Structure 1
């Protein structure tokens, strides 16, 4: 038992040091996303320039799209920063508790790991058996912002620029399809050249002249992504292959259970072997 506990202690220390590094990476990425806008410009600048050129060619005049990726990301950078800090704190507690055999820290770590395991099992169940519990509220929120704020290719607010960017970057159109834009109150669809059925950013290639037929009826899948939803595209990229993702999550869950059991055994062993004062 003592040998197994020693191996478990070493495993707990080494793996938590690795997770500590991961936490640091998340923290750094979050800080860069929040405060290092210039580092990301090379990633999206060409698409923004293309949008501005297309607007100019379509007769909207010179438009300067003041795009900010950190503004578009919203609370994501803050979430990364908070997640990174939480991981760092938890792993530091684990490493110090395991090295020093600190009973209090080991107990705190055991409780935290139990809560995390329970939350992860619940989240996995929602993702793979009831994904609509997560996707439906997100879609409803996105749809609400489209209806109230989307203003088309020449829109300069973050929602308009964000959707134009996403439509072009992922070659898609709206949350599920182009119908998501049909009730956008700020989107001007009646133009001198005709009526737009989809945003111009849903065209596979942005118009370089006054010819806007790619976004007008009749629509063609060869020129427009009107039936390709952005949500599924991004969801697929985020989760990837379900079998691979499920396997990775399962491995992480097993490791967390091992962490919990090792910390609990160390706590019990530490308390049982504590030298009592002679009285």
Structure 2
């Protein structure tokens, strides 16, 4: 065995151990985000506390609370993707580490093929995220719109309603694409004298857009009229009614952090190329017998 091959085995073991630890961290993070609601609550409490205080004050409902909010349910699909991806990466990393440690060249051949396929898949994902983001955004919009049919406004206590209210206040947006999404899905947030139109300052409302889309949550009927409308379209000066949440979340999460994404992508690509090179080298130098083991 040549010196380069021996060094390659060491590199394979070290890098794969690193990826195994990263995979475990990804799995743990997915479970924590999905199920550790009480632990995550303080990290999103500012907006929830404001919603709770404003609703109690404006609608006179002292019993209203946001205790049912679950951030994990809001991003449940993402959590399951994180967990599944972590398990797959853990298995691949273990395979590479095992093959390099024991010098099983058949395993290294299989490992190199898997990593090449994984690298190709990542290239496709990068192209979609940065070259054709609408493909992903359209899917996000469809999934988000499916949760709107039972949205019952700023006073809603269901996980779905609280999730929408938090997102719209946190990201200054409204609906997946606009307030019209709620209309298209038959959301009951406008039900007469209930939900967003419930009595405020002694007067019932006739909102045109969800109260949660107001740039500042109202504390009186006049403020509600200004930001949510009274049978007529409110001004965008006071409402985010035409600012879609998908584009806003994408902008703040992906576009504003594009430098970190490119650094992470570059790091992963570089290490995977190194892994492929040394895995192929170990297989190539499998001994004078030419056997696969």
Would the TM-score normalized by the shorter structure come out above 0.5? yes
Deviation at 1:42, TM superposition (A): 0.5
Deviation at 1:164, TM superposition (A): 0.4
Aligned to 2:220: 209
Q: Give the aligned partner of residue 257 of structure 1.
A: 273
Match of 1:114 among 113, 116, 128: 116
Q: How far is the alpha carbon of 1:263 from its aligned partner?
A: 0.7
Give the 3-state SS of the residue equivalent to 1:188 in structure 2. Answer: helix
Inter-CA distance 275–71: structure 2 relative to 1 (3 Å threshold): closer
Runs of 4+ in 1 over 6 A off after TM superposition: none
> 2:75 — aligned with what?
73
Corresponding residue number in structure 2 for 1:32? 32
Distance 1:73 1:243, change over 3 A: closer
> How far, CA to CA, are the matches of 2:13 and 2:34 in structure 1?
31
* 1:116 shift after superposition: 0.6
Partners of 2:290 and 2:102 lie apart in 1 by 16
Three-state SS of the structure 2 residue aligned to 1:64 is: coil
Query: Paired residue for 2:138?
Result: 136
Pairwise mapping of residues 2-21 of structure 1 onto structure 2 (< 5 A)? 2-21=2-21
Measure the CA separation in 2 of the matches of 1:188 and 1:34: 27
Deviation at 1:252, TM superposition (A): 2.2
Please, what TM-score do these two structures have when normalized by structure 1? 0.86
1:187 maps to which residue?
188
In structure 2, what is the Cα distance between the partners aligned to 1:132 and 1:209?
39
Aligned twin of 2:249: 234
Contact 1:170 1:230 in 2 (8 A): yes
Deviates more, 1:238-247 or 1:71-80: 238-247
User: Number of residue pairs matched?
Assistant: 274
Tell whether the 8 Å contact from 1:150 to 1:184 is kept in structure 2 after alignment: no
User: Closer, same or farther in 2 for the Cα pair 1:245/1:44, shift >3 Å?
Assistant: closer
Cα root mean square deviation, aligned: 2.6
Please give the alpha-carbon distance, in whole angstroms, between the structure 1 residues aligned to 2:70 and 2:266.
Answer: 36
Establish whether residue 269 from structure 1 lines up as the match of residue 254 from structure 2: no
User: Runs of 5+ in structure 2 lacking a partner?
Assistant: 198-202
Q: Could you tell me which residue of structure 1 aligns to residue 155 of structure 2? A: 154
Asked if 2 retains the 8 angstrom alpha-carbon contact of 1:172 and 1:202, the reply is yes
C-alpha displacement at 1:237, in angstroms?
3.1
Which sections of structure 1, spanning at least 5 residues, go unmatched? none
**Residue aligned with 1:172, SS:** coil
User: Cα offset for 1:23?
Assistant: 1.0
The answer to whether residue 66 in structure 2 is matched with residue 57 in structure 1 is no
2-side partners of 1:245 and 1:30: how far apart?
A: 19
Superposed, which structure 2 residues align to 1:168-183 within 5 Å?
Answer: 168-183=169-184
Cα pair 1:53 1:208 within 8 Å, conserved: no
